[in-house]
Amino acid sequence: MKILVTGANGLLGYKLIQLLSTKSDITTVATARKKVNDLPQGVDFFELDITNHDQTIEVLLATKPDVVISAAAMTQVDQCETEREQCWMANVVGIENLVEGCEKINCHLVHVSTDFIFDGSFGPLDETAIPNPVNFYGESKLAGEQVIQKSKLSWAILRTVLVFGITPDLSRSNIVLWVKKSLEDGKTINVVNDQWRTPTLAEDLAVGCYLAASQKATGIYHISGEEMMTPFDIAQHTADFFKLDKSLIKAADSSTFKQPAARPPKTGFIITKAKTELGYQPHSFTEGLRVLAAQLDR
């Protein structure tokens, strides 16, 4: 089986390439807008900006994968709110281009989406929950899902929540790394205690994508951790794990943060379907911290 990954230079993309390269029955094609450093042996690379229609079609026709895992996206929520045209290009037009290319070669598409398509009025949520985004990022990701659902393709949509992890040259932080570095630097941090999520280890999300791709699973799956936590809870656990000063962590109401984009108060996922149908089994949050810590020590 040949699997092509978009967004191979992001956190999920990196973990996917590392995982797929260990599978002897899979030929892996990595794609990204810029060259990916230190690709595992045997992994081919093609430059690909999915917002470029002709390039997208050209790369898919040249590589003819059996499955495309769509991990390229614009995910900075506040930037999506203020740079809407760029967001729509990445999260909707890019998906339209991918779908067109996939239809030409009749391949299976696994697309990664988000809990931010929901309004956060309740949680955790299963796959039957009705989307109602409260920010433009969520709107764009929902529109991308709808493009895929209306296509002629065989597809799976994998929604996820608050992904954390590390790569050797990670250019963007995430909540765990931010908390760790801030406390190590002796900084006091204000962390939201009135939003709830089920944080997801990047390695777990990569495994979920692999399971869906290798089985050519179809439909919508919720892929995340299982523990409902506030960002404040996450910060406290992170401080405990790395033996850092918890007194620097201050609980804050989300209304005290001035951000361009609204956040859904309560999401988090029920992952029974993924566990039952795909065989997905995530790490606990503490186990996830242990995985991350082991990589920091290398």
Q: Within 10 Å of residue 215's Cβ, how many Cβ atoms?
A: 14
Segment among 16-30, 159-173, 251-265 with least mean pLDDT? 159-173
For residue 209, tell me if it sits in a domain: yes
Domain membership of residue 181 (yes or no) is no
- pLDDT score of 225 more than 90: yes
Q: pLDDT at position 173, please?
A: 83
Q: Is 183 contained in some domain?
A: no
242 within a domain of the structure (yes/no): no
pLDDT in tens, 278-287: 999 999 999 9
pLDDT at 171: 66
CB 266 within 8 A of CB 120: yes
Residue 246 has pLDDT above 70, yes or no: yes
The average confidence (pLDDT) of the chain is: 97
Does a structural domain hold residue 141? yes
Percent of the chain with pLDDT over 70: 100
Q: What's CA 42's distance to the chain center, in Å? A: 25
Strands 189-192 and 200-201: unpaired
Domain containing residue 207: 2-172+199-227+267-282
- Whether residue 241 lies inside any domain: the answer is no
The CATH number that applies at residue 99 is: 3.40.50.720
Q: What share of the chain is helix, strand, coil (3-state, %, to 5)?
A: 40, 20, 40
Residue 101 has pLDDT above 80, yes or no: yes
H helices present in the chain, as ranges: 11-20, 53-63, 77-82, 84-88, 94-105, 136-149, 175-184, 202-214, 231-241, 272-273, 285-296
pLDDT tens digit sequence for 119-163: 999 999 999 999 999 999 999 999 999 999 999 999 999 999 999
User: How far apart, in whole angstroms, are the C-alpha atoms of residue 109 and residue 216?
Assistant: 8
Q: For residue 278, which of 156, 147, 140, 105 has the smallest C-alpha distance?
A: 156
- Count of the separate structural domains present in the chain: 1
pTM of the model: 0.98
